[in-house]
Amino acid sequence: MDIKLNVEQIKQEIEKLRTKLNITYKIKICAATKYVKAYEINLLLDAGIKDLGENRVQDFLVKAEALKERDINWHFIGHLQTNKVKSMINKIKYLHSLDRESLAKAVNKYRSSVLECYVEVNCSKEESKHGLAEDEVIPFIKDLAKYDKIKVIGLMTMAENTSDKNVIRSNFQLLKKLQQEVEQLNLPYAPCKELSMGMSNDFIIAIEEGATIVRIGSRLFK
């Protein structure tokens, strides 16, 4: 496993795609570190990746403590239970899985400053996945107006677990459509310019469909 080489290869793939598609905005890599130990994360940080995404609160708290001397932008990318919010919400920079009002209420209660959030959407309509249905997104975001600690910077989704690239692409296209609809509302607390979508197996398609941040795990640590 050569983490530095993996990082360089992924960055090259992304830059090649940006050039091909004439993409002017930066595309951020968020390393999904769910199964990764602190010493491997140190290698990742040394290779220039400082945006790290964790799925589980307990694992996040352990790693955040172990790596507290390092310069890290912590993203929480997993499903977040409301009873776990208090313990971690002031230790992260971004939340990718805002998907219900009870969570928004808990975040607003315990967060000490404005938190940049992505609203999670279940574009694949799979029962096993969390996130809002398509028709719930705009009403939910409008209802967030009363929570002064929440800023909706974008939307997040996970594509259907399939080898059919057309299905994956349609999931990402739906998220892009919804992002544009929210952005056009011109809500001061929900600029919604970002798209968190694409993982190790489908980030190329995600970038083609407008991703601004990709959550990559296995490709970094293979």
CA distance 104 to 180: 22
How high is the pLDDT of residue 218?
94
Q: Which residue ranges make up each domain of the chain? A: 3-221
Which residues are CB-neighbours of 37 under 8 A, at least 6 positions away?
none
* pTM exceeding the 0.95 threshold for the entire prediction: yes
Distance CA 46, CA 70 (A): 10
Instruction: Tell me 82's DSSP state.
Output: G
Q: What percent of the chain has pLDDT over 90?
A: 96
Please determine, for residue 116, whether its predicted confidence score (pLDDT) is greater than 90.
Answer: yes
d(CA 31, CA 213) in angstroms, rounded, equals: 10
| Structure-block tokens of residue 144 | 């967030």
pLDDT tens string 149-158:
999 999 999 9
Residue 222, pLDDT > 90, answer no
Distance from C-alpha of 40 to C-alpha of 108, rounded to nearest angstrom = 33
Query: For the domain bounded by 3-221, which CATH number is listed?
Result: 3.20.20.10
pLDDT tens for 20-71 read 999 999 999 999 999 898 889 999 999 999 999 999 999 999 999 999 999 9
Tell me the Ramachandran region of residue 95: left when phi exceeds 0, alpha when psi lies from -120 to 50, beta otherwise.
beta
The residue type of 121 is V
- pLDDT tens for each residue of 119-175: 999 999 999 999 999 999 999 999 999 999 999 999 999 999 999 999 999 999 999
pLDDT, one tens digit per residue, over 171-219 is 999 999 999 999 999 999 999 999 999 999 999 999 999 999 999 999 9
Res. 100 pLDDT band, cuts 50 70 90: very high
3-state secondary structure 168-202: HHHHHHHHHHHHHHHHCCCECCECCCEEECCCCCC
CB of 207 within 8 A of CB of 17?
Answer: yes
Task: Provide the percentage of residues in the chain whose pLDDT is more than 70.
Answer: 100
Residue 71: per-residue pLDDT: 97
Position 73 confidence tier, pLDDT thresholds 50, 70, 90: very high
pLDDT band of residue 1 (cuts 50, 70, 90) is confident
